[in-house]
Amino acid sequence: MKNKMKKLMNYTKYVLIILLIITVYQCKSPSIAQENRSKVGIRPYPRDSTHEMTGGDLVANWKPGIGNYDEMLEADDYTALHMDVVKGYDGVFQTNQRFFEYYIHQQGGDWVDTNPKTNKLVEIIRDHEQKGTEVMHIIICREGWLYDAENGDTGPIAGDPRILHQRDVDDTRKVFRDAHAIGLIKHDNYKLIQMVVHPAVFVDDPEARAIVQT
């Protein structure tokens, strides 16, 4: 019995060593690390003491005293060194890659402004790029009810009012090309990620899925 227990313990030790080697390899392997990197990025909440006192723009239920990124995050912390994409805040993050949220109605009106010189989205991208940050993607949707509770326009999909019209997508892509052609922004296209109410809607609805995939 003792010999069996001893053998079992030896086997366990070897298994743990093998697992440790695999774990170290995964941490050090660039290809594996890249696969595990974030698909969207981090939205730091709360960013500073003012943000903390407002409850993180009233989105997150933060309590005063919980701490914030300005006070807690150090330049040599793992998160500061290795986070790849950040929203709405620079802090001590090493990355210069950014994303942001954009609502069609931020422009003022129910449709995309196709004039690159006055388009609000182009203006935001330009501001980022002039500061030296790289826009990696844009979280985009329709939330007209935030701007006009009674008459705010929504998208074409009954089950998910956030999903864009195909016209929204097409006009946005065109304004990117036009803005790039006259030197307002660095690229002629940017990755759009649709914000949705629930993924089940576009998974089950062919029209919604076609829009989201563009």
In this prediction, residue 13 carries a pLDDT of 42
What residue type is 98 in one-letter code? R
| Segments forming the whole domain that contains residue 70 | 38-84
| 165 and 156 Cβ atoms separated by less than 8 Å | yes
71 and 144 part of one domain: no
Look at the block and give the residue holding tokens 């790039």.
180
Q: How many CA atoms lie within 13 A of 41 on its CB side?
A: 25
Task: Tell whether 156 is covered by a domain.
Answer: yes
Residue 32 lies in a domain: yes
pLDDT at 19: 34
Number of domains, the chain: 3
Same domain, 46 and 116: no
Q: How far is CA 209 from the centre of its chain?
A: 20
Asked if residue 194 belongs to a domain, the reply is: yes
Instruction: Evaluate whether residue 90 is within a structural domain.
Output: no
Q: Which residues of the chain have pLDDT under 70?
A: 1-39, 54-65, 149
Which of residues 26, 49, 84 is at a domain's end? Answer: 84
- Read off the pLDDT of residues 62-108 as tens digits, 9 standing for 90 and up: 666 678 889 899 999 999 999 999 998 899 999 999 999 999 988 87
In this structure, the answer to whether residues 191 and 139 fall within a common structural domain is: yes
43 and 104 in a single domain? The answer is no
Task: Report the pLDDT value the prediction gives residue 54, as an integer from 0 to 100.
Answer: 67
Q: Does residue 112 sit in the same domain as residue 74?
A: no
pLDDT, tens digit, for every residue of 128-141? 999 999 999 999 99
User: Considering the domain boundaries, does residue 47 fall inside one?
Assistant: yes
Domain identity same for 211 and 108: yes
Shared domain for 72 and 129, answered yes or no, is: no
| Segments of 12-153 assigned E as strands | 86-87, 97-103, 134-141
- Residue 145 and residue 175 in one domain: yes
pTM of the full predicted structure? 0.75
Task: Supply the pLDDT for residue 184.
Answer: 98
